[in-house]
């Protein structure tokens, strides 16, 4: 075998490896970018049993309420008490409360205090704290 033939084969293998590597990287990042473009609601991270909300977008570009559900949203039914805990349905942490209907304002009991909240307002729920939707069904995001 000639030295030039060996170098040509070696260079071809290196180019083929780099092409496969670039295709794999492109596929990974295109999936990630498409997921970011197509998402309807905020991104929710959960670490050590606590939910963290990154994006607080709850209204559309026209200023109307965005009440679409995401996969990790929690529906808090009217007059149904939930207790926040790591092993429970509601994890301790920061949530955005959303109206499940046309009402922009609704009442929620958090602990012993009943307070009026607006669509898109943030609340923080502590470990072991009770939460109840009083006036209507509410979505926790």
**Residue 40 pLDDT:** 43
Q: Are residues 71 and 48 in the same domain?
A: yes
Q: How far lies 26's CA from each of 5, 13, 15, 67, in Å?
A: 31, 20, 16, 34
Q: How many domains does the chain have?
A: 2
**In terms of domains, do 113 and 82 share one?**
yes
Query: Looking at the structure, do residues 15 and 49 belong to the same domain, yes or no?
Result: no
- For 88, half-sphere exposure in the C-beta direction (CA atoms, 13 angstrom radius) is 17
Q: Are residues 26 and 49 in the same domain?
A: no
59: which residues sit within 8 A by CB, 6+ positions away? 65, 66, 119, 120
Same domain (yes/no): 70, 91: yes
Six token digits for residue 116: 């009026």
Q: Please indicate, yes or no, whether residues 51 and 80 belong to a single structural domain of this protein.
A: yes
pLDDT in tens, the chain (141 residues): 688 889 999 999 999 999 999 999 988 888 777 765 554 444 566 656 655 555 545 665 666 655 555 667 788 888 999 999 888 888 998 998 888 777 788 899 998 889 999 888 889 999 999 999 998 888 888
> Are 17 and 62 members of one domain?
no
Using DSSP's 3-state secondary structure scheme, residue 53 falls into: strand
Q: What integer pLDDT is reported at residue 141 of this predicted model?
A: 81
Helix (H, G, I), strand (E, B) or coil at 110: strand
Which residues, in sequence order, are bridge partners of residue 96?
122
Shared domain for 95 and 65, answered yes or no, is yes
* Phi, psi dihedrals of residue 21, rounded to the nearest 5°: -65, -45
Give, in degrees to the nearest 5, the angle at Cα 88 between 45 and 90: 50
Which pair of structure tokens corresponds to residue 119? 């669509």
Residues 65 and 107 in one domain: yes
Do 14 and 51 fall into the same domain?
no
User: Residue 7: how many CA atoms within 13 Å on its side-chain side?
Assistant: 3
Distances, alpha carbon 104 to alpha carbons 36, 56, 107, 130, 137, in Å: 28, 16, 11, 23, 12
Residues 88 and 125 in one domain: yes
Indicate whether 6 and 73 sit together in one domain: no
| CATH classification at residue 118 | 2.60.120
Show the domain range for 73.
44-140
């Amino acid at each position: 075998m000639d030295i030039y033939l060996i170098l040509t084969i070696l260079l071809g293998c290196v180019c083929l490896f780099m092409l496969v590597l670039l295709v794999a990287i492109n596929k990974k990042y295109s999936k990630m970018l498409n997921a970011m473009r197509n998402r309807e609601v905020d991104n929710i991270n959960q670490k050590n049993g606590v939910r963290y909300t990154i994006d607080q977008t709850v209204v559309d570009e026209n200023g109307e309420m965005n009440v679409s559900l995401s996969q990790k949203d929690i529906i808090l039914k009217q007059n149904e008490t939930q207790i926040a805990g790591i092993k429970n349905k509601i994890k301790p942490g920061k949530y955005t409360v959303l109206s499940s209907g046309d009402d922009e304002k609704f009442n929620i009991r958090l602990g012993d205090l009943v307070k009026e909240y607006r669509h898109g307002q943030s609340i923080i729920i502590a470990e072991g704290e009770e939460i109840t939707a009083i006036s209507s069904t509410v979505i926790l995001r």
